[in-house]
Amino acid sequence: MTLPAFVKIVEVSPRDGLQNEKNIVPTDIKIDFINQLSETGLSVIEATSFVSPKWIPQLADHTEVFKSIKKHQNISYPVLVPNLQGFNEALAAGVKEVAVFTTPSETFSKKNTNSTVQESLDNIKQVTDAAKKHHIPVRAYLSCVLGCPFEGDIAPKAVTDLAMTLLDFGCYEISLGDTIGVGTPGSTKKLLDVFLKKIPEKQTAVHFHDTYGQALVNIYVALEYGISVIDSSVAGIGGCPYAKGATGNVATEKVVYMLNGLGIKTGIDLNMLIKVSRFITQRLPKLSDQK
């Protein structure tokens, strides 16, 4: 099996990483953090989310963060939006790419966005329609694809059907989220065997959390299937506050270390990445201690 020669890392720590932090991280630290990430060779850094501040108070400073970060020409800084209101606010802040999200699990959908899966698709359709008018690329996340904390196993067909709908809406890529990190190489293979029959691997990304230490091996499986876009979070920070038991994302430095070992290029400087990882980990426990 030929592994991809180049992998694009989508760095999600400023959004997926910080959204799960209880203590509010000061805005200037978030800005400094993203500016440091921009120096590591990453080409995509998900900067924040324009969701309801009542639901995710940690990211209520989205507009200030987005406007204040130093934007590099060759780096994309997408933001997460749940609906048209979030999209419009993101657009007003100068955002050039957005990510939407839904899930095959009705219960998780309700807990995470107070909507049924169909209602979340209706919201996404409004976003993709508006995004087309403004020439804004839209990426889509599917959460809980390898298991849901409320509904248990998720059928690969349900994941695939939703992905087809999202591509029809105009999303350019589907990120498969193992939100609570329950996936194994076995379940990852079962999903990809079904999924990649309908969805091109070029439009597929993987987003693993590392609850049971399976993330890297699951990523290796995805690489074997030809997937070359990987979401990760420096220092392994992150999780979804509405997914019971969700722990951190796979750490970007671990992913880059593995890819370097496989001779797969990422364009990322591992030493610089480790410095940024130290920077954020040193600040997060300090903030917890102040509680």
Residues that bind ligand HMG (CB under 6 A): 16, 19, 49-52, 55-56, 82-83, 85-86, 101, 112-114, 141, 143, 177, 179, 207, 240, 242
Which residue is it, tokens 């699990």?
Answer: 105
58 binds, among ligand HMG, Mg ion, none (CB under 5 to 8 A by kind): none
169 binds, among ligand HMG, Mg ion, none (CB under 5 to 8 A by kind): none
The span from the CA of 236 to the CA of 231, in Å, is: 11
Which residue is it, tokens 């070359």?
Answer: 228
Which CA distances in Å does 236 have to 2, 224, 266? 28, 23, 18
112 binds, among ligand HMG, Mg ion, none (CB under 5 to 8 A by kind): ligand HMG
Nearest to 175, CA basis, from 193, 157, 162, 189: 162
**In this complex, which beta carbon is closest to ligand HMG, that of residue 156 or of residue 177?**
177
Residues composing the chain: 291
**In this complex, which beta carbon is closest to Mg ion, that of residue 76 or of residue 179?**
179
Give the CB-nearest residue to Mg ion.
Answer: 16
Q: Which residues contact 167 (CB under 8 A, 6 or more apart)?
A: 174, 199, 203
> Pick the catalytic residue: 144, 148, 171, 240?
240
Q: State in angstroms the smallest separation of the CB of 238 from Mg ion.
A: 6
The span from the CA of 167 to the CA of 73, in Å, is: 27
Which residue is it, tokens 């990453």?
Answer: 42
Q: State in angstroms the smallest separation of the CB of 73 from ligand HMG.
A: 26
Residue 87 has what DSSP assignment? H
Q: State in angstroms the smallest separation of the CB of 85 from ligand HMG.
A: 4
Nearest to 267, CA basis, from 87, 3, 5: 5
**In this complex, which beta carbon is closest to ligand HMG, that of residue 126 or of residue 281?**
126
User: What's the distance, CA 19 to chain centroid?
Assistant: 11
**In this complex, which beta carbon is closest to Mg ion, that of residue 31 or of residue 176?**
176
Q: State in angstroms the smallest separation of the CB of 219 from ligand HMG.
A: 14
10-29 binders of Mg ion (CB under 5 A) = 16
**148 has catalytic annotation:** no
Enumerate binding residues for Mg ion (CB under 5 A).
16
Active-site residue list = 240
